[in-house]
């Protein structure tokens, strides 16, 4: 193969030196709280499968039946000939669940965010975002070429000040639950602010939908708001839903606008129809009594984790969600804590800059409805050992 340029190989060397090397783990079993890696079984605290649905029999059955009925692929984009009746059923079921006029499906959350922000943002529509918004929201703003700013994390005053300074009406964008911190945006206040100033609002509730609020309707529901209190609500299926893909919930008119102008919607193959079938089964589960039970187990696990954590050397963040980060600071030490836990049979990924701000490398612990109380207690005990072990040299 042709030799690669020096700037490229140099950047790889630097990445290793800074303890920022990223690497794929190859797992050999379904996504649940036990994971199989290189012949060993681990207790996992790094999956976003918060409700334990990724390996649920009802979803697997729906996926298999969907494939037998509709085939493996959708064959083209939604607008050409890839939009099957099962996609339509899923869109309508989601719209009904959330009480909105329309839902549009996307193949991934990353693309839904790129699509919405790049279609709306522009020189006449600036974008204002929370500083800790997900990378896909930031990338959407960059793709839109709109003027854009970031306000201080979770800070409505900072958002109001920046909004006042921006000359046009624009789009205010926030995560519902922040993916690396686990805290929830001040949605009620942000919605009031945006309404007063006649800005559009967009909430990405990738980590809230399914887990929080009435029937798992997410962080808006938890804040006492309906989904149609915001201009656009983005949800993803790769987390609590246990499948893959994403959606945008909005008005009929906004859906029409996105259908005309959102390039990442137009120029991509539709989600596999079997995935839509599995996601529909997941939605049914999420709205059912089993969904309520799973949400209850998850919140019991969150409470137990917070109670059982060692008090020495551990800084917990202000999170009441399934995302419970433990900030370590230094990237090398975060890696060492993660490696120690792995030796002890526990998988928990270290998250480093630039995914999180410099100096705030952390363990991102994610809890699931399927963790047992013993799992949680064991994690806390091993975590204390790991913190002790890696503080030796300081």
Judged by the rule CB under 6 A, the positions of this chain that interact with ligand PLP are: 108-110, 113, 134, 136, 175, 179, 204, 206-207, 236, 238, 246
Q: Please give the Cα distance from 279 to 88 (Å, whole number).
A: 12
Q: Is 236 labelled as part of a ligand binding site?
A: yes
First-last CA distance in the chain: 45
Task: Output the CA torsion 73→56→346→328 (10° steps).
Answer: 70
Structure tokens at 186: 């001040």
Q: d(Cα 180, Cα 77) in Å, to the nearest integer? A: 32
Gyration radius from the chain CA atoms:
21
Residue 14 has a CB neighbour count (10 Å cut-off) of: 10
Q: Which helix (H) or strand (E) holds 35?
A: strand 34-37
Q: Is 267 annotated as a binding residue?
A: no
Residue among 74, 107, 136, 179 flagged as catalytic = 179
Active site residue 60: no
Residue among 56, 207, 371, 382 flagged as catalytic? 207
CB 197 within 8 A of CB 191: no
Closer residue to ligand PLP in complex, CB, 19/268:
268
Distance, CA of 257 to CA of 266 (rounded, Å): 12
110 is in an annotated binding site: yes
Q: Is 239 one of the annotated active-site residues of the chain?
A: yes
The residue among 113 and 144 lying less far from ligand PLP, judged by its C-beta, is: 113
Q: In terms of CB distance, is 132 or 326 closer to ligand PLP?
A: 132
Tell me how far, at minimum, the Cβ of 56 lies from ligand PLP, in Å: 18
d(CA 224, CA 236) in angstroms, rounded, equals 21
Nearer to ligand PLP, 66 or 264 (CB): 264
179 is catalytic: yes
Residue 338: CB atoms within 10 A of its CB come to 22
Reduced DSSP (H G I as helix, E B as strand, rest coil) percent helix, strand, coil of the chain, to 5: 45, 15, 40
Q: Find the shortest distance in angstroms from Cβ 139 to ligand PLP.
A: 10
User: Least distance in Å: CB of 130 to ligand PLP?
Assistant: 11
Structure tokens at 272: 């596999």
Q: For residue 165, how many other CB atoms are within 10 A of its CB?
A: 9
d(CA 300, CA 132): 27
295 is in an annotated binding site: no
Q: Is 179 annotated as a binding residue?
A: yes
Q: Is 78 annotated as a binding residue?
A: no
Question: In angstroms, what is the minimal distance from the CB of 372 to ligand PLP?
Answer: 26
Least distance in angstroms from the C-beta of 182 to ligand PLP? 11
Residue whose C-beta lies closest to ligand PLP: 109
User: CB-wise, 206 or 346, nearer to ligand PLP?
Assistant: 206
Residues flagged as binding site for pyridoxal 5'-phosphate? 109-110, 179, 207, 236
Residues flagged as binding site? 22, 109-110, 134, 179, 207, 236, 355
Residues flagged as binding site for substrate? 22, 134, 355
Annotated catalytic residues are 179, 207, 239
């Amino acid at each position: 193969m042709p030799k690669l340029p020096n700037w490229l190989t140099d950047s790889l060397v630097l990445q290793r030196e800074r303890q920022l090397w990223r690497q794929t783990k190859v797992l050999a079993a379904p996504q649940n709280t036990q994971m199989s890696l290189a012949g060993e079984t681990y207790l996992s605290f790094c999956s976003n499968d918060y409700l334990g649905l990724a390996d649920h029999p009802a979803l697997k059955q729906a996926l298999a039946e969907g494939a037998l009925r509709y085939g493996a692929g959708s064959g083209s984009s939604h607008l050409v000939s890839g939009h099957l009746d099962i996609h339509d059923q899923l869109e309508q079921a989601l719209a009904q669940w959330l009480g909105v006029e329309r839902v549009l499906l996307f193949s991934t959350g990353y693309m839904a965010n790129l699509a919405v922000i790049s279609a709306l943002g522009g020189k006449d529509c600036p974008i204002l975002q929370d500083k800790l918004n997900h990378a896909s929201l930031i990338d959407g703003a960059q793709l839109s070429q709109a003027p854009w700013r970031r306000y201080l994390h979770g800070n409505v005053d900072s958002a109001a000040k920046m909004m006042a300074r921006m000359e046009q009406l624009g789009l205010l964008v926030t995560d519902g639950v922040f993916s690396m911190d686990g805290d929830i945006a001040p949605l009620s206040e942000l919605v009031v602010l945006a309404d007063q100033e006649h800005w559009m609002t967009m909430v990405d509730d990738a980590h809230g939908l399914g887990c929080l609020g009435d029937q798992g309707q997410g962080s808006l529901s938890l804040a006492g708001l309906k989904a149609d209190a915001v201009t656009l609500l983005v949800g993803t299926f790769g987390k609590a839903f246990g499948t893959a893909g994403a959606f945008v919930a909005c008005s009929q008119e906004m859906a029409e606008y996105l259908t005309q102008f959102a390039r990442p919607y137009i120029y991509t193959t539709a989600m596999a129809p079997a995935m839509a079938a599995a996601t529909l089964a997941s939605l049914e589960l999420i709205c059912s009594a089993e969904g309520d039970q799973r949400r209850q187990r998850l919140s019991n696990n969150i409470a137990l984790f917070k109670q059982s954590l060692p008090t020495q050397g551990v800084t917990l963040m202000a999170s009441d969600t399934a995302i419970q980060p433990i900030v370590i600071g230094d990237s090398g030490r975060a890696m060492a804590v993660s490696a120690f836990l792995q030796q002890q049979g526990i998988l928990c990924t270290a998250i480093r800059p630039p995914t999180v701000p410099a100096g705030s490398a952390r363990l991102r612990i994610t809890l699931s409805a399927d963790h047992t109380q013993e799992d949680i207690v064991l994690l806390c005990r091993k975590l204390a050992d790991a913190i002790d072990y890696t503080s030796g040299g300081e």
